[in-house]
C-alpha cells in the first residue's frame, strides 16, 4: 500500500483523458509523417514529365498525343507521372492515409474539448474544502482510509474519511490551507488531538463509543457495553467493519 497513491474518480478520469490525448498526439504526428511520405512518393514526380499539351491515357504525359498514337511505355505508377488521379490504387492509399489523419485529428479535438470541460467542472468542485483536502487526507494515512478489495483495488473508507474531513474543516475553520501538501503532514496529529478533546468532553456519556466510531468500528450500542475499549481501539487498523 505504501507505493499506492489514492486518486479520486475525477482525478483518475482526468488522468485517463490526458493519457488518451498524449497517445492521440503521437498517433497524429506519425499519421502526418506517413501521409507526407505518401504524398512525396506519388505526387512529386518532376514537372518536366507533365509536358504542356493534352494528356495521354497510356503514358500519362502531356505531349499532345492520344494513347492510340502512344509509342511510350504504359505508365504504371504516379511516381513516374505525378498524376495520382490516373492510378486508382495509389489514389486510394493516399486518400485513406489522409482520412486516417483526419479521423485522429477529430478524436484529438474531441478529447481535448472533453478534457477542458471536465477540468473546468473539476476545478469548480475542487474549491470546496472537502474536495481539496480529501486526497491529501487519504494519502496521509492509507492504512486507515483505504480498503483493499478482493480484486486488488483500493477503495476509500468514505465514512471515516468524511468524519475526519469534518474535523479538519472545523480545525481550519473551513479555510483550505495554502500549502495543503505541507499541512497534510499534520492532519493525523490534528485529528487525534481533536479525537482526544472530543473524547474527554463526551466521556460522561460513553467512554469508548466516540473513539471507536471515529475509527469506523461499527458495533451495536448494546454489544459495546462491557467491552474493554482498548481492545476495540487496537482493532481499528485491521478494520473490522466499514461505515
Ligand atoms: Zn503516351
Ligand atoms: Zn501515370
The 10s digit of each residue's pLDDT in 218-234 is 555 544 444 444 444 44
| Residue 138 sits in the same domain as residue 36 | no
Would 151 be classed as within a structural domain? yes
Would 108 be classed as within a structural domain? yes
**Domain range for residue 190?**
127-220
Q: What pLDDT is stored for residue 216 in this prediction?
A: 58
| Residue 120 sits in the same domain as residue 132 | no
Q: What pLDDT is stored for residue 234 in this prediction?
A: 45
Neighbours of ion ligand 2 (CB under 5 A): 60, 75, 81, 86
Q: What is the pLDDT of residues 36-88, one digit of tens each?
A: 999 999 988 775 556 678 889 999 988 889 999 999 999 999 998 888 999 99
Q: Select the more confidently predicted residue: 128 or 34.
A: 34
| Mean confidence (pLDDT) of the chain | 81
Residue-wise burial string across 207-220, b where 16 or more C-beta atoms lie within 10 A, e elsewhere = ebbbbbbbbbbebe
CA distances from 173 to 45, 124, 177, 180 (A): 74, 20, 10, 15
Q: What pLDDT is stored for residue 32 in this prediction?
A: 94
Residue 15 Cα to ligand 1 midpoint, Å, equals: 59
| Residue 195 sits in the same domain as residue 135 | yes
CA nearest 217: which of 157, 172, 176, 170?
157
| Residue 195 sits in the same domain as residue 111 | no
Residue 20 Cα to ligand 2 midpoint, Å, equals: 41
| Residue 37 sits in the same domain as residue 3 | yes
| Residue 202 sits in the same domain as residue 165 | yes
pLDDT greater than 50 at residue 182: yes
Residue 60 Cα to ligand 2 midpoint, Å, equals: 5
Residue 124 Cα to ligand 1 midpoint, Å, equals: 69
Q: What pLDDT is stored for residue 73 in this prediction?
A: 92
| Residue 103 sits in the same domain as residue 23 | yes
Q: What is the pLDDT of residues 101-137, one digit of tens each?
A: 999 999 999 999 998 888 888 777 666 888 889 999 9
CA distances from 116 to 28, 65, 123 (A): 19, 59, 10
Whether this prediction's pTM lies above 0.85 is answered by no
Amino acid at each position: 500500500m505504501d507505493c499506492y497513491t489514492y486518486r479520486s474518480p475525477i482525478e483518475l478520469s482526468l488522468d485517463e483523458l490526458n493519457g488518451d490525448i498524449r497517445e492521440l498526439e503521437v498517433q497524429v504526428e506519425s499519421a502526418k509523417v506517413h501521409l507526407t511520405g505518401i504524398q512525396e512518393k506519388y505526387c512529386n514526380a518532376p514537372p518536366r514529365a507533365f509536358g504542356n499539351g493534352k494528356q495521354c491515357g497510356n503514358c500519362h504525359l502531356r505531349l499532345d498525343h492520344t494513347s492510340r498514337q502512344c509509342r511510350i511505355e504504359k505508365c504504371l505508377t504516379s511516381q513516374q507521372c505525378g498524376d495520382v488521379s490516373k492510378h486508382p490504387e495509389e489514389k486510394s492509399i493516399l486518400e485513406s492515409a489522409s482520412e486516417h489523419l483526419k479521423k485522429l485529428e477529430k478524436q484529438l479535438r474531441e478529447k481535448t474539448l472533453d478534457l477542458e470541460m471536465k477540468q473546468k467542472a473539476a476545478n469548480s468542485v475542487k474549491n470546496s474544502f472537502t474536495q481539496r483536502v480529501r486526497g491529501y487526507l487519504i494519502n496521509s494515512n492509507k492504512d486507515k482510509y483505504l480498503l483493499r478489495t478482493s480484486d486488488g483495488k483500493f477503495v476509500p473508507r468514505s465514512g471515516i474519511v468524511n468524519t475526519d474531513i469534518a474535523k479538519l474543516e472545523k480545525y481550519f475553520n473551513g479555510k483550505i490551507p495554502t500549502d495543503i501538501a505541507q499541512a497534510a503532514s499534520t492532519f493525523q496529529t490534528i485529528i487525534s488531538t481533536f479525537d482526544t478533546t472530543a473524547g474527554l468532553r463526551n466521556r460522561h456519556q460513553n467512554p469508548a463509543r466516540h473513539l471507536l466510531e471515529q475509527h469506523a468500528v461499527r458495533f451495536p450500542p448494546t454489544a459495546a457495553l462491557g467491552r474493554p475499549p482498548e481492545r476495540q481501539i487496537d482493532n481499528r487498523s485491521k478494520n473490522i467493519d466499514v461505515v
